[in-house]
Structure 1
């Protein structure tokens, strides 16, 4: 293992730059030559690689997004695209690859692994939807971004005695809604992992209003459906002033929290060490506060376990 490369793919997440920085500097410390691949698998297919030195990653640990940029690449999903990617890696004499991203990124990495090329995956996604690891890079920062928005919305919602429906990201994983719902004191949390009854929600809001509560916050994970549709349903059934706010891609931006910077640095260093130790087809993660690595196929096949106890706690505390 003399030359390795790093890429970021899929949706960007705060902390990706911290991970890139750690991959580059840990590699150089260990005597490796390190290349950065621009725009993920698209850049790999196009041969958009550049050597990275210590100064290349200066002053980026605190920056959101990814300095290597990211892009979708349908061509990589085709057999011809995979062959071209492997040819590019051979042309540049790359011995191993670190990929930073989510589920789709890892599935792309697996195709390279299946072809015999050494790849280690680092989980970078705000969705926290990779079952094998307790946390992914970017999740904590996204939580803090959403909580800041919830606090601001609660101010104006209280002033106008409204119900505020807040839609957050996460695809089919409700972790962002669940964690921010608990941390933001939401009255209701709607996530894909559980069913909800709009009539029960309306009843709870009305009972709270009868007790003198002037506002309500309802967190909605995007996998549940449109916040605007839920807003219309509640207004139709209750006659209350209901407003929907879709936070959107603001959740992906911003300077990463201390937790995400530290996690990214630990993950990235562990990934490089895996390559140096002769490991391949592995993904890095954290379980019970310990950095781990496991087989990529096994990791992708794992089913997410919804935190039922946390969900029940939100119901108890929102009475």
Structure 2
């Protein structure tokens, strides 16, 4: 209310010959600033190279993006808002906040460790610009090629999209999956601290990690907040509840989920690890069967 009164007062002051020049100059300066910001600032800060060359903190993310399948898609296409008002708000209000964090060294690092960007920040509409399931068939893995869109909420993507679950909740960091690779770090010229070097970003490109946020067989691994938000309290724990048995991986026939222990014992754990992340933080179990749970925990969170 006070600002409105001040505006009315300033307009009235235009009638004052003494104050009029100053107000005109002030208004002109503001108008010029808006024009320059729109003509130069918006295109400059919306350019993907700006994220990697100007903003030192996001250098690793920039170079991992350049190595990804999304390298020809601009950063703002995924991370930006579609609406013009929202876009201007991000640049005018949120932009200075990022700049301040960068200058003062208070930028979040490592970036997006808990995958909050994929969970909350990227709307489905951004993905559907290219991956609209109603208009085209994308190139999903074998398990999704049949009945990709589905005829109802019982089928794959359709069921999740109907609940409003964002694509990136499952397909997490698809453009930044190599962010911790040595060659990316070298390009980014960024020296990790020992703590950051151990950080393992959740990579849902292969879907496993993304699925287990709600569908893990272990209660402690499920994200209760997500389950409550999307009303998935009865989320199935067995893969075949959703995935057709006819497209299960080789060696995963009838009752494989109950018989795999004997198969692993007979063929050895290397047989399992041909697909389930050989060399990926997996530690061979000892002779005690009680260690099976520990091994499964490691397998489920480390398949990449």
- Normalised-by-shorter TM-score class: under 0.3
Higher strand share: 1
What TM-score do the two structures reach when normalised by structure 1?
0.23
Larger radius of gyration: 2
Higher helix share: 2
Higher relative contact order (CA 8 A, sep 6+): 1
What TM-score do the two structures reach when normalised by structure 2?
0.24
